[in-house]
Amino acid sequence: MPIFNPDTKAMQYVRNDRGTPLKLDNNYCRYILDNKGLMLVDQQLAVDKRTRLYVKKMAKSQDYFFKEFARAITVLSENNLLTGTKGEIRKQCYLANKH
């Protein structure tokens, strides 16, 4: 399998974790449990008593992580999808496109 090596001059990106930065796995769950998450919302998942157990289970089990990740993406994809002129694909995730 080819290794993805992005051109850092062509785009900006942030590595979610240092252990497996370009791989989808449960390593990020371990990072947020160690208070090393990239985003505040992720850190909140690790400390909130309603969600911490799930983060711990995902950090412990790659299979559980994949199962729950797939379920979450399915729910998100079915939730109020904006089409046509009602939505936009952002050129930079953190900024709305200029019109």
Which residues contribute to the annotated binding site? 17, 20, 25
The dihedral formed by the CA atoms of 71, 66, 56 and 74, expressed in degrees to the nearest 10: -20
- The annotated binding site for Ca(2+) is made up of 17, 20, 25
Quote the CA–CA distance of 7 and 73 in Å, as a whole number: 27
Task: Using alpha carbons, select from 28, 33, 57, 36 the residue that is nearest to residue 46.
Answer: 33
Q: Which amino acid is at 4?
A: F
Q: Is 7 helix (H, G, I), strand (E, B) or coil?
A: coil
